[in-house]
Amino acid sequence: MDGNGRWASSRGLPRTARHRVGVRTARKIVEAATRAGVGTLTLYAFSADNWSRPTPEVGALMRLLRRSLLIESKRCVENGVRLTIVGRRDRLPASLVVAIQEAEALTSHGRNLHLRVAIDYSARESIMQAAMHAGGEQLTRERFARLLAQVNHDPFLIPDVDLLIRAGGEQRLSDFLLWECAYAEFHFARCMWPEFTEQEFLAALSDFEVRERRFGGVPAQVAS
């Protein structure tokens, strides 16, 4: 969900204002994903590298995340959305951790969409932690994926990512779901995240539907 800062700066708004607008956009896209029949949606809210940002901005974002969880979890229940927070929790404020636990419990019966929000998340760190948990055991891809889920506090073994969408005109992964995106299709939107609309989201889904996915094979093999 990139481009919030640039969007705010271009309008003379403080950087903290960008996060509030970003939350509103996220709400719209979650609702659009539910209507479109998407099974799992993961939003990258705060990366492990984001701790290096100015302390006041980080503090404001932590407070906004907590407030958003309290509000949006009720919307999730109304729309049948199950919410899971993935990433580290030991560096988060205690009040935010409590809000996470309450939101996950409140939405646990949602079946229309599994919404995963990545907070204090790093794909490289997760892979390293999973490898250390494995020790010397012989691994399969499924076993390693389960270890990744474990270190990210994710009770679910999600399927590989089908489509990765990045707003803001940037064309890089930025340490997001590196293992899960092995065969993902990419869609890069030039608009900033606050300008990202349901129409843009649906256009990305439509584009994905006509792409030929081979997973290392040839078209005939995939079709069969």
- Catalytic pick among 2, 4, 120, 154: 2
Structure tokens at 120: 């204090």
Contact, 146 vs 19, CB < 8 A? no
Whether 152 sits among the annotated catalytic residues: the reply is no
- Catalytic pick among 4, 49, 50, 154: 50
Structure tokens at 86: 């993935």
Q: Does residue 194 sit in helix, strand or coil?
A: helix
Q: What gap in Å lies between CA 45 and CA 120, rounded to an integer?
A: 8
Q: Which positions ≥6 away from 167 have C-beta within 8 Å?
A: 1, 2, 3, 189, 191, 192, 193, 195, 196
Contact, 193 vs 5, CB < 8 A? no
Whether 50 sits among the annotated catalytic residues: the reply is yes
Q: Which of 192, 196, 205, 195 is nearest to 33 (CA)?
A: 205
The residues assigned a catalytic role are: 2, 50
